[in-house]
Amino acid sequence: MTRNARIAGWGKYLPKKVLTNHDLAAIVDTSDAWIRSRTGIVERRIAADHDTASTMGIEAGRQALEIAQLPASAVDLIIAATVTPETIFPACASLIQHGLGAHRAAAFDLNAACSGFVYALITAYQFVSSGTYENVLVVGSEVYSRILDWRDRNTCVLFGDGAGAVLLQATDSPTAALGFTMGSDGSGADLLYVPGLCGIPTRFSQNGHYVNMNGQEVFKFAVHTMSEATRQAIAAAGLELSDIDLFIPHQANDRIIKAAAKSLGLAKEKVFVNVDRYGNTSSASIPIALCEAVEQGRVEEGDHLVLVGFGGGLSWAAMVFQWSI
């Protein structure tokens, strides 16, 4: 029997330490004006020594379960979207499972870079809609501050740390999750990547295990891909752009968000932005933004939401929901 799925709970975790543009200007050749004009970012959060992708994911997941009024023992599956786990194995999701006490849950990680949360949400939806699981916890958690070259002003000013989570729950409602799309273009792998520990040493040894990015090419890809993926997901949902109440994009760069919104013809009040306060938190950015949109009263019962992300791979994904509590 095919079922639908709704977001029954949501939560976020943001480290306490705030790193401003002025702070960055003291350690790298940049300025507050330079960063704001190119990215819209004013500040970002930086993980404390005791913060990891799993500990932050545990806190975000705990909040999501509290809002859903669901005990951890009722969770069937945990999917963690991350590219910054503290171990290659075991999976970050397994550590989150243990930390929450979700002893019944299966657990695995998913790596689609900044698209990871939406990829994970779409994957969770398959498990729920097929009737396999009732409750799936989807977590996006990143500690990008540990894979940045703090001498490179083109990348170190962009990213921040944090975690977000949602509890996806089975429902008989014909609304809730309505449509999605996702894709990948591996020919663009070299445009945005972090060298791994297991790669060919001579290929990556020069720059270390840090974020490498071709900013201009990624910008062009992002604007086109977010717009196109949004259109595809809306079409898959049987809706029109005019039906969308809130657009929640990956928070990578304010200029990218504005350009995509302009391409889609979306009014400013229909676009959620918090990149100015947190920077690019990769797979955590969309669930953090969703949490804040709910907290700010930007989401109401029956609203149609678009969640859309893009990232390394190159990858992209979008999903349309009708909000239902």
Which domains are assigned to the chain?
A: 4-171 (3.40.47.10), 177-322 (3.40.47.10)
The arithmetic mean of pLDDT across residues 250-262, rounded, is 98
Whether 114 sits among the annotated catalytic residues: the reply is: yes
Q: Is 184 helix (H, G, I), strand (E, B) or coil?
A: strand
Who's near 64: CB < 8 A, 6+ residues apart? Answer: 9, 10, 11, 137, 165, 166, 167
Q: Distance between CA 73 and CA 90 in Å, rounded?
A: 21
Q: Distance between CA 298 and CA 137 in Å, rounded?
A: 23
pLDDT of the residue at 207:
64
Q: Which two tokens stand for residue 287?
A: 């669930």
Give the number of other Cβ atoms within 10 Å of residue 255's Cβ.
16
pLDDT of the residue at 176:
80
Share of the chain above pLDDT 70, in %: 98
Q: Distance between CA 49 and CA 225 in Å, rounded?
A: 36
Instruction: Give the model confidence (pLDDT) of 164-177 as tens digits.
Output: 999 999 998 877 88
pLDDT of the residue at 317:
98
Q: How confident is the model at residue 141 (pLDDT cuts 50, 70, 90)?
A: very high
Q: How confident is the model at residue 188 (pLDDT cuts 50, 70, 90)?
A: very high
Q: Which two tokens stand for residue 148?
A: 């940045």
In residues, how long is the chain? 325
Instruction: Give the model confidence (pLDDT) of 310-321 as tens digits.
Output: 999 999 999 999
324 vs 306: which has the higher pLDDT: 306
Q: How confident is the model at residue 202 (pLDDT cuts 50, 70, 90)?
A: low
Strand-pair partners of 168: 7, 136
Q: How confident is the model at residue 129 (pLDDT cuts 50, 70, 90)?
A: very high
pLDDT of the residue at 43:
98
Q: Distance between CA 319 and CA 181 in Å, rounded?
A: 7
Q: How confident is the model at residue 1 (pLDDT cuts 50, 70, 90)?
A: low
Q: Distance between CA 147 and CA 145 in Å, rounded?
A: 6
Instruction: Give the model confidence (pLDDT) of 285-296 as tens digits.
Output: 999 999 999 999
Q: Which two tokens stand for residue 181?
A: 């799309």
pLDDT of the residue at 47:
98
Helix, strand, coil % (nearest 5) of the chain?
A: 40, 25, 35
Q: Is 132 helix (H, G, I), strand (E, B) or coil?
A: coil
> 156, 250, 253, 291: which is the annotated catalytic residue?
250
Average pLDDT, the chain: 96
Instruction: Give the model confidence (pLDDT) of 30-60 as tens digits.
Output: 999 999 999 999 999 999 999 999 999 999 9
pLDDT of the residue at 59:
98
Q: Which two tokens stand for residue 198?
A: 């297991």
> 92, 114, 156, 291: which is the annotated catalytic residue?
114
pLDDT of the residue at 156:
98
**pTM flag (> 0.95):** yes
- Of 255, 259, 257, 232, the C-alpha closest to 247 is 257
pLDDT at 203 exceeding the cut of 70: no
Q: What is the chain's alpha carbon radius of gyration, rounded to the nearest angstrom?
A: 18
The arithmetic mean of pLDDT across residues 7-32, rounded, is 98
> 4, 21, 111, 280: which is the annotated catalytic residue?
280
Lowest pLDDT segment from 73-87, 96-110, 203-217? 203-217
End-to-end CA distance of the chain: 22
Whether 280 sits among the annotated catalytic residues: the reply is: yes
Distance set, CA 15 to CA 18, 20, 47 (Å): 8, 14, 5
